[in-house]
Copies of this chain bind each other. A is one copy, B any other.
Amino acid sequence: MSILIKNGYVIYGENLNVVKADVLIEGNRVVSVERNINEAADTVIDATGRVVSPGFINLHTHSPMGLLRGLADDLPLMDWLQNHIWPREAKLTPEYIKVGAYLGALEMIRSGTTTFLDMYFHMDKVAEAVLDAGLRGYLSYGMIDLGDPDRTEREIKEALREMEAIEKLNSDRVHFVFGPHAPYTCSIALLKEVRKLASEHRKLITIHVSETMAEIGQITERYGKSPVVLLDDIGFLGNDVIIAHGVWLDSRDIQILARHGVTVAHNPGSNMKLASGVMPLEKLLNAGVNVGLGTDGSASNNNLDMLEEMKLAALLHKVHNLDPTVADARTVFRMATQNGAKALRLNAGVIKEGYLADIIIINFNRPHLRPINDVISHLVYSANGNDVETTIVGGKILMLDGEVLTLDEEKVISEAEKVSEKLA
């Protein structure tokens, strides 16, 4: 199978050079980016007036939570969790979660996300939806033991069960990741066991860290140190660890993350909506920490739109620092693409010969994206997920000219609506 994308503005390589060129995909790889490629291809896509971009990598989400979108907003975090989110999550069956995963996958395809790092429950069901949809999913079962040794054991067992189920699918597009929920919901025993298992099975780890001030208070009270120092002290950290949020990091935490090569998944929309705080992006980048971008779940965002998330990231840090030069468009675009790929050890996130063909095409023939003065600026500051027209993962077309090819859109939406009624 080959695809030839003609006449687009291509965002080429790590430096994000925008070039008028054609892109030739053979199998699952980009094989050539140059002007006037004349080779025959199975599919030819005319990208005139369009931008050919690496697909986005959503580095932290809970994809089935679209089911709970808009059910509760504008509430204090604990009221939101205890009275609205958790009671509904308690009603979620594996089948409901699968319905939510399809809705999330459909939304991601439509808004140009090609890879995502997920944390939720029954990830073997999520994996099936991801396979069907054609996306790349890095899937973690969110483990919570609240210090109860029986639960520790059960959580480890469930994680290993889901890992096995996902490995049995034998796909290069779905990967199991260990997902202990957070230092305040997991015992030291659980965290240490996860660290050991991840190394043994060569899996990545993702975990919520330093999201709220309340968490810092709890961990400091319990352990006399910050969450990051705690994780460092128990030998948990490494360049295979992706921490989500990292809002309340101090200088010492940042040095520790840098030393271990830990990646931070930044979630500006969720941190703003839940009023968690503003993460120290500039300090992290200056310390050389790899920072990716995530939307978090649709209950706290309330969508999975990485184009919108880039704008939120850029704007939040400018106003917070009262400095318009921070979080510039190119830095933020890299966070949403190549930094995520680096964290996941994925040969994607840039368009270049030899890289995976995880590519999206964005329609710039729209008034809010004209004149085309600066492609990267327009993607970060002017565009939104609905501008994405075509989504390709590993050389397979998931959406073409606005039509989703891998999923029955009407069915996915109507089933989500039905589950939502049952959760009410």
List chain A positions with a Cβ less than 8 A from chain B: 66-71, 73-77, 80, 103, 106-107, 110-111, 213, 269, 271-278, 298, 301-305, 308, 311-312, 314-316, 318-319, 321-325, 327-329, 365-368, 370-374, 377-378, 381-382, 384-387, 409, 412-413, 416-417, 419-421
Whether A275 and B324, one on each chain, are in contact in the complex, defined by CB atoms closer than 8 angstroms, is yes
Q: Name the B residues within 8 Å of A421 (CB-CB).
A: 371
Give the distance in Å from the alpha carbon of A77 to the alpha carbon of B325 in the complex: 10
Q: A74-B327, A107-B368, A273-B381 are in contact. List 15 more A-B contacts (CB 8 A).
A: A66-B368, A69-B378, A76-B323, A80-B324, A271-B319, A272-B318, A273-B314, A275-B319, A275-B321, A276-B319, A277-B322, A302-B382, A312-B315, A368-B385, A371-B420
Residue on B nearest A67 in the bound complex, by CB: B371
Tell me how far the C-beta of A397 lies from the nearest C-beta in chain B, rounded to whole angstroms. 18
- State A13–B377 Cα separation when bound (angstroms): 39
Nearest CB in chain B to that of A322: its residue: B275
Q: How many Å lie between the Cα of A302 and that of B374 in the bound state?
A: 11
Do the beta carbons of A73 and B302 come within 8 Å of each other? no
Contacts of A110 in B (CB 8 A): 366-368
Contact B370–A417 (Cβ < 8 Å): yes
Q: Is B381's CB under 8 angstroms from A303's CB?
A: yes
Query: B381 near A384 (CB under 8 angstroms)?
Result: no
Q: Is A370 a contact partner of B325 (Cβ separation < 8 A)?
A: no
Query: Is A278's CB under 8 angstroms from B319's CB?
Result: yes
* Minimum CB–CB distance for A17 against chain B, Å: 16
Q: Considering residues A67, A69, A276, A304, which has the most beta carbons from chain B within 10 angstroms of its beta carbon?
A: A69
User: CB distance A324 to B76 under 8 Å?
Assistant: yes
Contact A373 B71 (CB under 8 A): yes
Q: Are B315 and A73 in contact (CB under 8 A)?
A: no
- Choose among B111, B213, B311, B365 the residue that contacts A368 (Cβ–Cβ < 8 A): B111
Q: How far is the CB of A333 from chain B (nearest CB, A)?
A: 12
What are the residues of chain B within 8 A of A377 when measuring CB–CB?
A: 69-70, 73, 302
Which chain B residues lie closer than 8 Å to A298 at the CB level? 368, 382
Residue on B nearest A77 in the bound complex, by CB: B324
CB distance from A79 to the nearest CB of B (A): 9
A301 to B324 Cα, complex, angstroms = 12
Whole-angstrom CA separation of A272 from B274 in the bound complex: 19
A181 CA / B366 CA spacing, docked (Å): 31
Which of B273, B384, B412 is within 8 Å of A318, CB to CB? B273
How far apart are the CA atoms of A278 and B322 in the complex, in Å? Answer: 9
Kindly provide the distance from the CB of A40 to the nearest chain B CB, expressed in whole angstroms.
31
28 examples of A-B residue contacts, CB within 8 angstroms: A66-B368, A68-B373, A69-B370, A69-B378, A70-B377, A71-B374, A73-B329, A73-B374, A73-B377, A74-B318, A74-B329, A75-B324, A76-B323, A80-B324, A107-B367, A111-B368, A269-B315, A272-B318, A274-B318, A275-B323, A275-B324, A308-B384, A367-B412, A370-B417, A371-B417, A371-B420, A373-B420, A384-B386
Give, as a whole number of angstroms, the nearest-CB distance from A167 to chain B. 29
A328 to B76, CA, bound (A): 12
Whether the Cβ atoms of A384 and B384 lie closer than 8 Å is yes
Chain B residues closer than 8 Å to A269, beta-carbon distance: 315
Give complex CA distance A106, B370 in Å.
11
Complex Cα distance, B322 from A213, in Å, reads 10
Tell me if A382 and B318 are in contact (CB < 8 A). no
Assess the B412–A302 pair: CB atoms within 8 A: no
CB pair A370–B416 under 8 Å, yes or no, is yes
Complex CA–CA separation, A103 to B419 (angstroms): 42
Q: Name A69's contact: one of B276, B371, B412 (CB within 8 Å).
A: B371
